Structure 1
């Protein structure tokens, strides 16, 4: 992102503003150094009990972060907000990731390993993830699909997003890939796009079976599926499980 960040090495007091990067820190063996996490940092389940909860990803509490006396704050360009990050950076070392592809996520994992003195563990993890995706070769032509992240209004993951990259690797063609980021979609646009499958993500909106009929009424011929949003959108160590999950989706493609 064109920023230079100076930190004490290795940092012994780390605040994470991003759930997927929090999980990565724990999986790199850094639990004893994590002093602050967000309320959305649900992996591992103990994270919010052993570290201070400093608010959400876009409404963190500056006083709570300051009380953590962080040597390093980890954020993300998309999940956090610019004004808040800039305010934090006036007082603390803030390192930001910017993730749109699998390659970006692997680079982030390796860099976090370097930053925290866990280079070997991070390199091993990145290699494991890369190898799992290298063996992921869909057996059929890409399936036209729409990936919904929100309801009222309907919103989808479109082009330029990490989810879009994951959809392609999972064997899908994003019917809204020509649009940017996370656009609002009308029922008429969905009908016109004519996806063969409509994927309803478990997060950030908690889609469930009760929503299937709603989308089936809009696209009667499409297959409506509830999918694990974490395995499509978390770009840290949870990626270890994504390739296997994508392969399990294939039998009905």
Structure 2
């Protein structure tokens, strides 16, 4: 928690999912800078200043925007970026692994930006939809999965990630949960390392295609390969409101 003497009026967001959250909190007019990966809401690409990516920023552009606060995330942004931004103004660095972490962040933003009522509305929707989904999923069988995020090298989401938390919520047993974060894996050992029922190919950050599904399928025993919306599995914030409906649809078509 950071403490400011007054409500920040000019915000630079270096985290796509948090940019969307700011919009849903009613802070559109306060957001002055975003990254090229901040694709929601769509019109921000036209109306906000692009300050670079999440790993490489244009520090002079950020300085020129004269922000009151810069929003970062421990996973999305490097320590070097946080340090550089700290020389400009206050920096808030989020660290999220669970839905409860997300709810805490929304509550903190509500307080920080004087949007407590809007924050509470978002939190209430997330909690209601979460309870509804938990009732839906409780009798669904547990399925073993491998969640791929990259190719060349092949990389997966493992333990201690927001993705793994949501996989568990979906009654998906991550065969790589014994590993940490986003490790490289050998797909030739897919059967030995857990022989999943499902291979999930995320829509981001890598643009997986049918040939990649076929390549992975050669090394599994009976796994069904499914392309999934990576935003619903990895974006925290207000996107969670609709994530549970997506998860229901995903489960129903398996």
Deviates more, 1:145-154 or 1:212-221: 212-221
The residue matched to 2:239 in structure 1 has which SS?
A: helix
The residue matched to 1:191 in structure 2 has which SS?
A: coil
Residue 94 (structure 1) aligns with: 91
The residue matched to 1:69 in structure 2 has which SS?
A: coil
The residue matched to 1:29 in structure 2 has which SS?
A: coil
Residue 82 (structure 1) aligns with: 79
Residue 227 (structure 2) aligns with: 226
1:121 to partner: Cα distance: 0.4
Residue 24 (structure 2) aligns with: 27
Runs of 4+ with deviation above 6 angstroms: none
Residue 120 (structure 2) aligns with: 123
Residue 168 (structure 1) aligns with: 168
CA contact (8 A) 1:201 1:228 kept: yes
- In structure 2, the gaps of 5 or more residues are none
**TM-score (normalizing by structure 1):** 0.95
The residue matched to 2:52 in structure 1 has which SS?
A: coil
Over residues 44-87 of structure 1, what are the superposed CA-to-partner deviations in whole Å (9 max), with x where a residue is unaligned? 01112111100000101110100010011111011000111012
Deviates more, 1:208-217 or 1:107-116: 208-217
The residue matched to 2:191 in structure 1 has which SS?
A: helix
Over residues 173-205 of structure 1, what are the superposed CA-to-partner deviations in whole Å (9 max), with x where a residue is unaligned? 111011100000101332212000000000001
1:116 to partner: Cα distance: 0.8
**TM-score (normalizing by structure 2):** 0.95
1:1-253 matches, cutoff 5 A: 5-137=2-134, 138=137, 139-192=139-192, 193-253=194-254
Deviates more, 1:171-180 or 1:212-221: 212-221
Deviates more, 1:57-66 or 1:210-219: 210-219
The residue matched to 1:75 in structure 2 has which SS?
A: strand
How far apart, in 1, do the equivalents of 2:42 and 2:5 lie? 28
Over residues 121-180 of structure 1, what are the superposed CA-to-partner deviations in whole Å (9 max), with x where a residue is unaligned? 011101111111111131223210000000010000000000000001122011101110
How far apart, in 1, do the equivalents of 2:168 and 2:132 lie? 14
How well do the aligned residues superpose, as a CA RMSD in angstroms? 1.3
Deviates more, 1:205-214 or 1:147-156: 205-214
How far apart, in 2, do the equivalents of 1:6 and 1:58 lie? 26
How many residues are treated as equivalent by the alignment? 250
CA contact (8 A) 2:191 2:221 kept: no
Over residues 81-117 of structure 1, what are the superposed CA-to-partner deviations in whole Å (9 max), with x where a residue is unaligned? 0111012112211011100111101111111111111
- In structure 1, the gaps of 5 or more residues are none
How far apart, in 2, do the equivalents of 1:63 and 1:151 lie? 33
